[in-house]
A and B are shown apart, each in its own frame.
Chain A
Amino acid sequence: MNLSFRIQQEFYFLLKSKAILGALLLLLLVSAVSVGLGLNYVAKERQEIAQLIELDAEERAYKRSLAYDWGGAAYDAFHAVWNEPSDLTFAAIGQRDLNASMMRIRALAIEGQIYETDSVNPELALAGRFDFAFVAAYLLPLVILFVFYDLLAAERESGRFNLLTVTSRDWRSLWSPRVLLRFIGILLAVLLPLWIGMLVEGTELQTAMAATFAVFLLVTFWSVLALVIASRQTLNSQTLASVSICVWVLLVLAIPIAGKVVIESSVMGIRGADVSLAQREAVNDAWDLPKSATMEPFYESHPQWSDSAPLAAGFHWKWYYAFQQVGDETAAELAREYREMLIARDDLTAQVAWLSPAVAIQRRLESLASTNLDAQLAYEEKIRQYHEQIRRAYYPALFRDIPFSKERLKELSIPDFSEL
């Protein structure tokens, strides 16, 4: 019996085995559905962003047409920021649906703006998304376990096992073609739709290869595990199935949930609400304090404006924007601690990933798709930088007391978020 004959033979068996073939087709189907939904999600988001940019410019132009002083112009001028989906976002949407992928910010204190959320229907969010990462984490292992769990037991229970073992030349040539063929079938079923999605999105080759490799490792891991279970010769097929499903529950449901309990109760640190509370207190206290209490620390951290004309009694916009800035500076430390808390939780999640392949594949795909915490924090950092630009654009007019005119306002141009 040569190898190519054996493979042909196994291929024939595979086509004849309705259960295995059905499982592979089902995998192909759910993978395709998940990719389709992901592509749809990304397309919708891009369209929303394009629409936002247009509406945003129009609204800003309108507000500018009403402006009659610098401070008021800055107060009313919101600028769109957005988080463009990456070329792999369709495969792992991650926390994108909870985080606001679009926002409008203005020159006021950023800590009061950056935590705004998009309103999502929590009941739909609770279920989670049907994306490729979900298929890979949850369903793929089930199919693998199903395909392999009774590899030996089925033959034994049908009474062919001994005959096969006795007549075949060696153990390897008997089982490896079957295992190999099923393994390839699984890989193709799960990866083909992903590859098509990548072609549609024009995913960078390196990202595409990394994602493919991650899925390959995942399939290998579960296949080996399934074969280890299947090779327990003393167990009958239904016990093997029970054991398989328990292993799945443990690795895919129990460990992540236990990890979540540990993470939520061990890393508490600063609460998000504290950051915005601190910022608000600083900003509001300033109204009641003497103006020098705001201006002195402000001029100290921004010496380039310290020669600005002294403030008279009453309201002045430069004082207003100075205490917005001081408010941010007061809350900066808390905001940093808040981010550190998030990072600490993410680091612990990475530890959980060592115990659960479901967490591991999701983390890997989200990292490649730029939908993980790092990407979110980088986006927030970019918003902060852009906000700084907006703020600084108005400072010359405010602190040099340049008389306001519509023409001068027109000259004050702030680049788009995309140009940052």
Chain B
Amino acid sequence: MRKLLLIASDELRCWRRSKVAWTVLLTLLLLSTAAAVVSNSEISRRADERLAQQAEADATFQAQPDRHPHRMVHYGHYVYRTASPLAMIDSGIDSMVGTSVFLEGHRQNTATFAAAKETGLLARFGSFTPAFVLQILAPLLLIICGFSSVTREKEQKTLYQLMGQGVSGNALLLGKSMALWFVALIALLPALIVGLIATIGNDFGFTQSLFVMTIGYLLYLSIWVLLIVSVSSVLRTSAQSLSALLGLWVVAAVLMPRIAAEYAGAVVPTPSQIETNLRFAEAMRNEGDSHDIEDAAFRDLRAETLDEYGVESIEDLPFNYRGLVALQGEELDTQLLNQFAEERMLREMEQTDVASNFAWLSPLISMRDLSMSLVGTSLQDHHHFLRAAEDYRYEMVQTFNRLQMTEMTLSEDLARNDDAESGQRTRVDAAHWQQMPEFELQPLSHTQRWQGASKAALTLSSWLIAAFLMLLLCARRVGP
């Protein structure tokens, strides 16, 4: 152990003399801190904006006057997606997905106004977040620091002296790794601090997630450290080592994510939204129009209801039959809508799963998946939002339909357009909308987030073990 520390401190001393290493260290620390600060302000600005928009939407919704409840079904409501409190560390898909959904009866609308569309071309260049710095830039800077860690000893012929003094290959490579590892630790600190501040006083286990994620980043950077030292130990010259490592980095960090995405998109194609809509319209043909109580699709409902209440005609029912049809219609519509929506989400999860298999080729992909899942900015979280919005929509619409059923008689409802007075009679007190619970998105729990991250955790650990074994293997070849 003392030998390891000695080698590590010697390596650090060597960097202290070289300008390059200093610049790299400083850049890394600066970038990491700046990313944490900038991203923090950006994400909190976005969060405030959405909160304000949600408050505005809630206020206009609650300010609606007395109305016929079915008017409110079509008036609908807007809900906004709130970002995870840790999104400042890894904004993940946040900018790629729409921020708001318009909820109304008979339809499921898509989430619209994704930030990426409003930013334009630059959106694809990445986000200035700690995750970007740690996943993409830190490995590069580690390479620049460490590519010559062993080749330098060879080129300066100091390697044999070291070996002669009884330093084993293992000790040499592990010692060099420790020095680089120290750089990785420094890079991690700002993100951890910002994350801790963000999660203080937050439930849903975000602090837990933050710690697991930090361990993930430690593993990830360790993989790079081990790879760098291994490569440096097997190649003859520093120039070769640098080219090889840069090549590795380009493949792992620049090429692989895009290849994975293209491949997943090609292997698991998803139908376009419009095709889904058309297929839905076709499936709806048998469902009937719930605005029309004479629609053949509701004949059974009528017979059953009349039977149940032992009355002859729908006029004799103790409630407004039109409301019941609306209730039933929405239920059937929603079943079908959800079937399509779930199918789509399943497909998307499959795509993501296929893409995540590329983690076996690039540790960046496992790190990215792990980070997004734990932070709460992954596909899983987007689907969670869509489902929550849909549940809210369904509850809202059915509340209105129940109001239509109970708050007026059928004859009043049918006569609502005859004159102003009849219209007045079918209007329901606005207090009903004011009492409607507001939409509140509960984030997934730590366990759910961890489940989403488990596959990435497995690939990442495998990478670490493989990299460690590789280092040991290389260590045997070091020396005379």
Do chains A and B stick together as partners?
yes
- List residues of chain A with CB under 8 Å of any chain B CB: 19, 30, 37, 40, 44, 48, 51-52, 55-56, 59, 62, 80, 94-95, 98-100, 102-104, 115-130, 134, 138-139, 142, 146, 150, 157, 237-239, 241-242, 245-246, 249, 253, 256-261, 263-265, 271-273, 276-277, 280-281, 284, 287-288, 313-315, 341-342, 345-346, 349, 352, 358-359, 362-363, 366, 372-373
Q: Is the CB of B266 within 8 A of A40?
A: yes
Q: Is B388 an interface residue (CB 8 A)?
A: no
Q: Which of A98, A121, A242 makes the CB contact (< 8 A) with B144?
A: A242
Residues of A within 8 A of B136 (CB): 253
Q: Is B71 an interface residue (CB 8 A)?
A: yes
Interface size on B, residues (CB 8 A): 94
Q: Is the CB of A127 within 8 A of B78?
A: no
Q: Is the CB of B275 within 8 A of A276?
A: no
Q: Is the CB of A52 within 8 A of B254?
A: no
Q: Is B261 an interface residue (CB 8 A)?
A: yes
Q: Is the CB of B278 within 8 A of A121?
A: no
Q: Is the interface of A mostly helix, strand, loop or mixed?
A: helix
> Distance in Å from the Cβ of A148 to the closest Cβ of chain B?
13
Q: Is B333 an interface residue (CB 8 A)?
A: no
Q: Is B110 an interface residue (CB 8 A)?
A: yes
The residue on A at minimum CB distance from B39 is: A261
Residues of A within 8 A of B344 (CB): 119
Q: Is the CB of A52 within 8 A of B278?
A: yes
Q: Is the CB of A284 within 8 A of B121?
A: no
Question: Among B210-218, B323-331, B417-425, which stretch is in contact with chain A?
Answer: B417-425
Q: How far is the CA of A95 from the CA of B116 in the complex (A)?
A: 9
Q: How far is the CA of A134 from the CA of B259 in the complex (A)?
A: 12
> Distance in Å from the Cβ of B88 to the closest Cβ of chain A?
13
Residues of B within 8 A of A115 (CB): 112-113
Assess A124 versus B111: contact at CB under 8 Å? Given A59-B282, A239-B20, A273-B99: no
Q: Is the CB of B122 within 8 A of A130?
A: no
Q: Is B355 an interface residue (CB 8 A)?
A: yes
Q: Is the CB of A117 within 8 A of B98?
A: yes
Residues of B within 8 A of A272 (CB): 112-113, 118
Q: Mark B438-465, 1 if CB is under 8 A from A, else 0.
A: 0000000000000000000000000000
Residues of A within 8 A of B65 (CB): 288
Considering the complex, which residues of chain B in the window 101-152 have a beta carbon less than 8 Å from any beta carbon of chain A? 102, 109-128, 132, 136-137, 140, 144, 147-148
> Distance in Å from the Cβ of B279 to the closest Cβ of chain A?
8
Q: Is the CB of B114 within 8 A of A117?
A: yes
Assess A238 versus B117: contact at CB under 8 Å? Given A130-B259, A313-B418: no
Q: Is the CB of B378 within 8 A of A123?
A: yes
Q: Is the CB of A284 within 8 A of B75?
A: yes
Assess A94 versus B144: contact at CB under 8 Å? Given A122-B97, A134-B258: no
* Top 4 A-B pairs, shortest CB-CB distance: A314-B417, A122-B93, A127-B261, A122-B96
Residues of B within 8 A of A349 (CB): 120-122
Q: Which of A257, A263, A264, A341 makes the CB contact (< 8 A) with B126?
A: A257
Q: How far is the CA of A406 from the CA of B114 in the complex (A)?
A: 42
Q: How far is the CA of A208 from the CA of B367 in the complex (A)?
A: 40
Considering the complex, which residues of chain B in the window 29-47 have a beta carbon less than 8 Å from any beta carbon of chain A? 38, 42, 45
Q: Is the CB of B125 within 8 A of A127?
A: no
Residues of A within 8 A of B109 (CB): 116
Best-buried of B100, B120, B127, B242 by chain A (most CB within 10 Å): B120
Best-buried of B60, B102, B111 by chain A (most CB within 10 Å): B102
Q: Mark B259-275, 1 if CB is under 8 A from A, else 0.
A: 11110111001101111
> Distance in Å from the Cβ of B12 to the closest Cβ of chain A?
18
Q: Which of B56, B122, B378, B382 makes the CB contact (< 8 A) with A352?
A: B122
Q: How far is the CA of A128 from the CA of B365 in the complex (A)?
A: 14
Q: Is B407 an interface residue (CB 8 A)?
A: no
Q: Which of B239, B261, B278, B282 makes the CB contact (< 8 A) with A237?
A: B239
Assess A126 versus B92: contact at CB under 8 Å? Given A48-B275, A103-B274: yes
Q: How far is the CA of A227 from the CA of B49 in the complex (A)?
A: 48
Q: Is the CB of B258 within 8 A of A128?
A: yes
Q: Is the CB of A273 within 8 A of B243?
A: no
> Distance in Å from the Cβ of B391 to the closest Cβ of chain A?
19
Q: How far is the CA of A246 from the CA of B242 in the complex (A)?
A: 13
Q: How far is the CA of A404 from the CA of B95 in the complex (A)?
A: 48
Q: Is the CB of A127 within 8 A of B243?
A: no
Q: How far is the CA of A263 from the CA of B281 in the complex (A)?
A: 41
The residue on A at minimum CB distance from B24 is: A242
Q: Is the CB of A116 within 8 A of B128?
A: no
Q: Is B246 an interface residue (CB 8 A)?
A: yes
Q: Is the CB of A260 within 8 A of B125?
A: yes
Q: Which of A124, A142, A246, A352 makes the CB contact (< 8 A) with B351?
A: A124
Q: Is the CB of B121 within 8 A of A276?
A: no
Q: How far is the CA of A37 from the CA of B78 in the complex (A)?
A: 38
Residues of B within 8 A of A37 (CB): 262
Q: Is the CB of B379 within 8 A of A342?
A: no
Q: How far is the CA of A164 from the CA of B330 in the complex (A)?
A: 84
Q: How far is the CA of A407 from the CA of B101 in the complex (A)?
A: 40
Q: Which of A40, A273, A352 makes the CB contact (< 8 A) with B78?
A: A273
Assess A121 versus B110: contact at CB under 8 Å? Given A238-B239, A257-B127: no
The residue on A at minimum CB distance from B268 is: A121
Q: Is the CB of B274 within 8 A of A19?
A: no
Q: Is the CB of B121 within 8 A of A273?
A: no
> Distance in Å from the Cβ of B182 to the closest Cβ of chain A?
20
Q: Is the CB of B275 within 8 A of A257?
A: no
The residue on B at minimum CB distance from A130 is: B258
Assess A260 versus B123: contact at CB under 8 Å? Given A122-B96, A249-B137, A272-B113: yes
Q: Is the CB of B128 within 8 A of A258?
A: yes
> Distance in Å from the Cβ of B149 to the closest Cβ of chain A?
12
Q: How far is the CA of A238 from the CA of B246 in the complex (A)?
A: 11
Q: Is B208 an interface residue (CB 8 A)?
A: no
Residues of B within 8 A of A121 (CB): 264-265, 270, 348, 351-352, 379
Considering the complex, which residues of chain B in the window 59-108 have a beta carbon less than 8 Å from any beta carbon of chain A? 60, 65, 67, 71, 74-76, 78, 80, 92-93, 96-100, 102
Residues of B within 8 A of A257 (CB): 122, 125-128, 132
> Distance in Å from the Cβ of A263 to the closest Cβ of chain B?
7
> Distance in Å from the Cβ of A240 to the closest Cβ of chain B?
9
Q: Which of A139, A288, A315 makes the CB contact (< 8 A) with B254?
A: A139
11 CB-based A-B contacts, threshold 8 Å: A94-B121, A95-B120, A117-B98, A121-B379, A125-B96, A238-B238, A249-B137, A259-B122, A272-B118, A284-B71, A313-B417
> Distance in Å from the Cβ of B5 to the closest Cβ of chain A?
27
Assess A100 versus B274: contact at CB under 8 Å? Given A121-B352, A130-B258, A249-B137: yes
Assess A241 versus B242: contact at CB under 8 Å? Given A121-B379, A125-B96, A129-B258: yes
Q: Is the CB of B119 within 8 A of A263?
A: yes
Q: Which of B42, B147, B352, B379 makes the CB contact (< 8 A) with A261?
A: B42
The residue on B at minimum CB distance from A94 is: B121
